[in-house]
């Protein structure tokens, strides 16, 4: 086989593999059932209750429902974490020093809610 035929064969194989991978990723793209999911996570002072809203397989809202955290210290976490989760479409976001337990409590609650929403 001459080099040009081998080259074209390699290109065809690469394209076919790319199409197959893309098709598999599209099937895996649906992660969550639509709805509202409420869950709790352990903050610094006590439990933090959140509501996560899923619409069209996207996290559209993360709302802090109840908490006993110190308002001044927890404000940064309550402002930033829901926005970051929505932006990243994941509970896997960075925490910030100073309100670590509050961050972790929100993240734990959102993770639990998303696990409940997960497509099986």
> Could you give the number of structural domains in the chain?
2
In the chain, what is the straight-line distance between the N-terminal and C-terminal CA atoms, in Å?
A: 48
Q: Tell me: the pLDDT tens digits for 32-43?
A: 999 999 999 999
Report whether pLDDT(48) > 80: yes
Q: How far is CA 76 from CA 2, 28, 33, 53, in A?
A: 64, 34, 29, 21
Q: Distance (Å, rounded) from C-alpha 53 to C-alpha 114?
A: 9
As a whole number, mean pLDDT of residues 80-103 equals 91
Same domain, 66 and 108: yes
Q: Which domain holds residue 2?
A: 1-30
Same domain, 66 and 21: no
Mean confidence (pLDDT) of the chain? 86
Q: What is the reported pLDDT for 117?
A: 96
Q: Distance (Å, rounded) from C-alpha 47 to C-alpha 115?
A: 18
Q: What is the reported pLDDT for 27?
A: 47
Same domain, 39 and 84: yes
Same domain, 26 and 43: no
């Amino acid at each position: 086989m001459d080099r040009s035929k081998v080259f074209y064969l390699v290109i065809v194989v690469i394209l076919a593999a790319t199409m197959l991978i893309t098709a598999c990723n599209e099937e895996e793209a649906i992660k969550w059932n639509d709805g509202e999911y409420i869950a709790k996570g352990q903050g610094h002072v006590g439990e933090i209750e959140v509501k996560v809203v899923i619409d069209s397989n996207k996290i559209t809202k993360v709302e802090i429902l109840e908490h006993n955290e110190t308002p001044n210290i927890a404000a940064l976490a309550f402002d930033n974490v829901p926005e970051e989760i929505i932006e990243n479409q994941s509970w896997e976001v960075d925490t910030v020093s100073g309100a670590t337990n509050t961050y972790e409590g929100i993240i734990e609650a959102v993770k639990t809610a998303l696990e409940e929403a997960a497509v099986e």
